Amino acid sequence: MKRRSGFHGRRGSGGFSLLEVLIALLVLAFGLLGFALLQTMNVRFVQSSGQRTQATNLASDLIEMMRVQRTDTLNDGDYGAASFAVGDVDVTAAPCAWPVGAGTTATSSNVARWQCQVVKTLGDKASADVSVVDGLVTVGIGWGDERWDADNADSTTTFTLVTRL
């Protein structure tokens, strides 16, 4: 009988070859690059989402002011479309805080404060379109959102809220 040795005629595995290591590093590099791209897009969309949330809150704020002063709103008082030239508001001069003191606040000061908040929150490209027709209120707020459409930096994003008083 022939005696068998411990060596079976093949070479023992000596670890990874240099080619295998390079391929593994290449796959890892593409994965990390994809993750970095995902993170930058995530930051961009989170910032844009924050602006949309602010626009939603500002539109709701105005509609609640209109509900409080429902008679003035429905009689085309200070909430008419001419009151909302938001882009023309002087942000540095207009007070954005609620007036302090007893008594009622005039509708015009509410509108001025709201306009100032829109411009301060959403930037100089912000605009507003408000209409009241037979008790149906439409508040449209537009702003320049370069983050959302990076290819078209001059585009305007618009949020519109419609409700009945």
| Predicted confidence (pLDDT) per residue in 112-121, tens digit | 788 888 888 8
Residue that wins the pLDDT comparison between 73 and 82 = 73
**Residue 84: its pLDDT value, please?**
57
What are the distances in angstroms from CA 70 to CA 1, 12, 76? 109, 88, 10
Q: What are phi and psi of 131, to 5 degrees?
A: -140, 145
Whether the Cβ atoms of residue 139 and residue 63 lie closer than 8 Å to each other:
yes
Please indicate whether residue 93 or residue 83 has the higher confidence score (pLDDT). 83
Across the range 70-96, mean pLDDT stands at: 58
In whole angstroms, give the CA distance from residue 122 to residue 152: 18
Give the whole-angstrom CA distance, residue 81 versus residue 126: 15
**pLDDT score recorded for residue 23:** 94
Alpha-helix runs per DSSP H in the chain: 18-68, 70-74, 107-122
Backbone angles phi, psi at 10, to 5 degrees: -120, 160
Largest Cα–Cα distance in the chain? 115
Paired tokens of 10: 């093949």
Residue 1 has pLDDT above 80, yes or no: no
Q: What gap in Å lies between CA 40 and CA 38, rounded to an integer?
A: 6
Exposed/middle/buried for 96, CB within 10 Å: 0-12, 13-18, 19+? middle
Going by pLDDT thresholds of 50, 70 and 90, the confidence category of residue 137 is confident
What is the rounded average pLDDT of the residues 150-164? Answer: 83
Which of the 8 DSSP states describes residue 10? S
pTM, to two decimals: 0.67
103 pLDDT exceeds 70? no
